[in-house]
Chains A and B, each alone.
Chain A
Amino acid sequence: DVKVTQSSRYLVKRTGEKVFLECVQDMDHENMFWYRQDPGLGLRLIYFSYDVKMKEKGDIPEGYSVSREKKERFSLILESASTNQTSMYLCASTRDSPYEQYFGPGTRLTVT
């Protein structure tokens, strides 16, 4: 069974802390994505990666960075967490064909 896992389901951090969100997929997919989801705004793409060590900015990259050192792992980093980064964070992966994305269960991050 295909699987995308995320390191935490719920996370509470303080303003200014450095936060790491990890995503692991076991499907040997080339492409991996980080989204955030907020009420009324739908899913918004933060960053994506189409290969190891490759990354591209999505629609809302400000305040975030990413790391992909291994094919199966894609990390999202909040260098200095702020309250406006309180959100649900979703990781996804896909191979080139077919084109469906597989999502992880999400991490609900609260920054206080």
Chain B
Amino acid sequence: DAKTTQPTSMDCAEGRAANLPCNHSTISGNEYVYWYRQIHSQGPQYIIHGLKNNETNEMASLIITEDRKSSTLILPHATLRDTAVYYCIVRVGNYGGSQGNLIFGKGTKLSVKP
């Protein structure tokens, strides 16, 4: 799996959009970009994933650059409950056997402030 690079920490004002960047310059053509988050003292929570098109769900939007070497997770209206560590992960899309696991790095600690 390709490596990812994320800022260690970011701040965001409550009600504003939080834009979390991720670099994955060595991503290969069959690897997806996944985002998870972990709120303090809880297990990680899946947010969104994508291959090359931008994606949106009820939690967030994922913008992937055309060359796929970087992506941005957007929380459109951050709340205090969005304070968490956000992990960007790249991996192949097919599951089964040894390809089933996700490799979590150190992530970005997002602090949403009132």
Contact = CB atoms under 8 A, between A and B. Distances in A.
A66 to B, nearest CB: 13
A76 interface: no
Say whether chain B's binding surface is mostly helix, strand, loop, or mixed: loop
B93 A99 contact: yes
Nearest to B99: A50
Interface residues of B, number: 26
Interface in B18-64: 32, 34, 36, 41-46, 49
Contact of B44 (A31, A40, A99, A103): A103
A94 B42 CA distance: 18
Instruction: Identify whether the interface residues of A are mostly helix, strand, loop, or mixed.
Output: strand
B102 interface: yes
B96 A104 contact: no
A4 B42 CA distance: 12
